[in-house]
């Protein structure tokens, strides 16, 4: 288990982390998700002991690890650009962590060779033990880096944008592979990413960060379905953010009643495009005009304009589009399945 308590970190005047607290349970794979400069990499490096926090404490497995250097933390760290040792073969890279052990801790040559073999099997690079990093593709290098980190049997695996430098297809494959690997090994893991899709697909739990603070912690479904803050709404998936007014506990967008608001005043309403339903023109429902219809594979993005000029994005299926013959200029009715209002936000 990892516990982060009130950790802060400054770089000069820049506040990289501002009293961040976090708890990761044993065996979970957690994503730190956020834009660049949100402090996610700093938090990861603090967990690894590569940076020391200005304030706060880090506990690993119940033991205070604050102030402990990287060497003594027994964490595996996988770097974005792999950081493989270029002058060592794949096998030598993987064996490095075992070879630098001293005295009785250092396994025999046969044990090291056996372990390297097992790990290379695990990352599906059996045949490449004798190659050098310069002879490998990006995806292969990343798997070597992972095998090297796993060789020291870390109690915690940390990955910094592990797939950031790879192209889209390799990335997708590796993502699934990492998820499966994690399920097999039951290791506690934390990875940093700015790619929401990656976070939602791979992680058990997602920590959304912004400006050095944690915005929300939750399962991918929780984060996507009920974002806690406007930032999370905007950062995860497409969303319509439209100004609205709340009067008498009812929120209105362009004459459209969209639900309740706790406090009266101006605010912002967030509606996911797939929650904007497009129906045949009906006198009981608010009206809108289609401004644009874009086919994106199986889904169709429709831009509608409300009578007051507010523009909403909607996502409908191909069948739905064909059935209603949606096209530019068509008058339709809309229905918002779900919306959330943040007053003042």
User: Footprint of another protein on this chain (CB under 8 A)?
Assistant: 48-50, 69-71, 74-77, 79, 81, 83-88, 96-97, 100-101, 131-132, 134-137, 139-140, 148-149, 151-152, 170, 173
Which one-letter DSSP state was computed for residue 322? Answer: H
> Residue 2 Cβ, how far from another protein at the closest point, in Å?
16
Residue 92 or 275: the one with the smaller Cβ distance to another protein is 92
> Residue 71 Cβ, how far from another protein at the closest point, in Å?
5
> Residue 322 Cβ, how far from another protein at the closest point, in Å?
39
- What pairs with residue 157 in β-bridges? 76, 189
> Residue 46 Cβ, how far from another protein at the closest point, in Å?
13
Residue 81 or 176: the one with the smaller Cβ distance to another protein is 81
> Residue 127 Cβ, how far from another protein at the closest point, in Å?
11
- Two tokens at 334? 């809309």
- Two tokens at 90? 């794949």
Overall residue count recorded for the chain in this entry: 345
What are the phi and psi torsion angles at 273 (to 5°)?
-55, -35
> Residue 33 Cβ, how far from another protein at the closest point, in Å?
22
Residue 187 CA to residue 149 CA, distance in Å, equals: 12
- R_g over Cα of the chain: 25
Which one-letter DSSP state was computed for residue 54? Answer: S
Residue 132 or 335: the one with the smaller Cβ distance to another protein is 132
Which residues does 72 contact at the CB level (< 8 Å), separation at least 6? Answer: 49
Which residues does 240 contact at the CB level (< 8 Å), separation at least 6? Answer: 269, 270, 271, 272, 273, 276, 312, 313
Residue 47 CA to residue 57 CA, distance in Å, equals: 10
Please check whether residue 58 is in contact with residue 4, taking contact to mean a CB–CB distance below 8 angstroms.
Answer: yes
Please check whether residue 253 is in contact with residue 340, taking contact to mean a CB–CB distance below 8 angstroms.
Answer: no
Residue 17 CA to residue 254 CA, distance in Å, equals: 39
Please check whether residue 334 is in contact with residue 277, taking contact to mean a CB–CB distance below 8 angstroms.
Answer: yes
- Pairing between β-strand 14-24 and β-strand 2-11 as defined by DSSP bridges: antiparallel
Residue 105 or 284: the one with the smaller Cβ distance to another protein is 105
Residue 77 or 163: the one with the smaller Cβ distance to another protein is 77
> Residue 278 Cβ, how far from another protein at the closest point, in Å?
42
Residue 148 or 182: the one with the smaller Cβ distance to another protein is 148
CA 256 vs. chain centroid, Å, equals 34
> Residue 130 Cβ, how far from another protein at the closest point, in Å?
9
> Residue 81 Cβ, how far from another protein at the closest point, in Å?
7
Helix (H, G, I), strand (E, B) or coil at 268: strand
Residue 170 or 299: the one with the smaller Cβ distance to another protein is 170
Residue 65 or 256: the one with the smaller Cβ distance to another protein is 65
Helix (H, G, I), strand (E, B) or coil at 111: helix
Residue 162 or 230: the one with the smaller Cβ distance to another protein is 162
């Amino acid at each position: 288990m990892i516990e982060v308590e009130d950790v802060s970190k400054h770089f000069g005047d820049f506040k990289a982390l501002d009293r961040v607290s976090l708890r990761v349970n044993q065996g979970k794979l957690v994503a730190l998700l956020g834009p660049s400069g949100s402090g996610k990499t700093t938090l990861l490096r603090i967990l690894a002991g590569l940076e020391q926090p200005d304030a706060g404490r880090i506990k690993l497995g119940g033991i205070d690890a604050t102030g402990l250097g990287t060497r003594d933390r027994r964490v595996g760290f996988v770097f974005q650009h792999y950081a493989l040792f270029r002058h060592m073969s794949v096998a030598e890279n993987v064996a490095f962590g075992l070879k630098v052990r001293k005295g009785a801790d250092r396994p025999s040559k046969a044990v090291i060779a056996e372990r390297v073999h097992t790990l290379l099997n695990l990352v599906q690079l059996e045949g490449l033990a004798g190659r050098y990093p310069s002879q490998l593709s990006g995806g292969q290098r990343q798997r070597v880096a992972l095998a090297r980190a796993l060789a020291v049997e870390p109690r915690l695996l940390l990955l910094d944008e592990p797939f950031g430098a790879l192209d889209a297809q390799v990335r997708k494959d590796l993502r699934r592979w990492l998820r499966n690997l994690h399920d097999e090994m039951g290791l506690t893991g934390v990875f940093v990413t700015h790619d929401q899709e990656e976070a939602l697909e791979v992680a058990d739990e997602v920590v959304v960060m912004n400006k050095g603070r944690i915005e929300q912690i939750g399962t991918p479904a929780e984060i996507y379905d009920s974002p806690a803050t406007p930032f999370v709404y905007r950062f995860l998936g497409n969303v319509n953010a439209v100004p609205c007014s709340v009067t008498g506990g009812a929120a209105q967008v362009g004459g459209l009643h969209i639900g309740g608001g706790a406090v009266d005043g101006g605010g912002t309403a967030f509606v996911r495009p797939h929650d904007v339903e497009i129906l045949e023109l009906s006198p009981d429902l608010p009206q809108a005009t289609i401004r644009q219809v874009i086919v994106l594979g199986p889904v169709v993005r429709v831009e509608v304009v409300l009578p007051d000029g507010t523009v909403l994005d909607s996502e409908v299926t191909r069948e739905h589009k064909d059935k209603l013959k949606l096209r530019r200029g068509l008058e339709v009715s809309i229905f918002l399945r779900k919306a959330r209002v943040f007053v003042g936000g």
